Structure formats: C-alpha cells, structure tokens
Amino acid sequence: MKLKKAFKVANEKDQKDQKNTFFTIIPATEKAKDYILELKKANEDLQDIVIQQEKEIENLKKKLSKYETIK
C-alpha cells in the first residue's frame, strides 16, 4: 500500500518536485525547519503505526473467521 506523504519540507532546489506530497512547506527559519522536520518524523511514525495496526486487524479477522457465530 503506497501512501501519499502528508507534507514535504522544501528548499529552493526541490520546490518544484511535489509529486508525492499534498503540500510543500517552505520554512522561514532554521528553527522552523527543525520543528517541521520533527513533526514530519512524528507523522511518518504514526503512519507506520497505522499500517501495523491495520495488519494486526486483518490477522485478527482471519482468526475470528474460523469461528461460527452463535444464533
């Protein structure tokens, strides 16, 4: 499953390359850039957790499908 990245931190040379992002952030200061990069890392970590949880849900559904429902 290919996810589209939520955002990208750009510098002058890669402002034009926005193919795999919803929007590009151009930081005004280095401190802002560092903060944005921290947010980007946290966002990527959360996306990884979501993918892991989706896989776990699928595994649990497979295990659950082995049992019949009580009517």
Residue 47 counted as domain residue: yes
pLDDT at 56 (0 to 100)? 97
Over residues 49-65, the pLDDT tens digits come to: 999 999 999 999 999 98
Residue 52, in any domain of the structure: yes
**Domain-located, residue 34:** yes
What sign has the CA pseudo-torsion 26, 31, 37, 39? negative
Domain ranges, residue 51: 5-64
The candidate with the shortest Cα–Cα distance to 25, out of 47, 1, 38, is 38
Above 60 in pLDDT, residue 2? no
Number of domains in the chain: 1
Q: Is residue 10 part of a domain?
A: yes
In a domain, 45, yes or no: yes
Residue 69 belongs to some domain of the structure: no
In a domain, 71, yes or no: no
Show Cβ contacts of residue 46 under 8 Å, excluding neighbours closer than 6 positions. Answer: none
Share of residues in the chain with pLDDT > 70 (%): 62
The mean predicted confidence, pLDDT, of the chain is 78
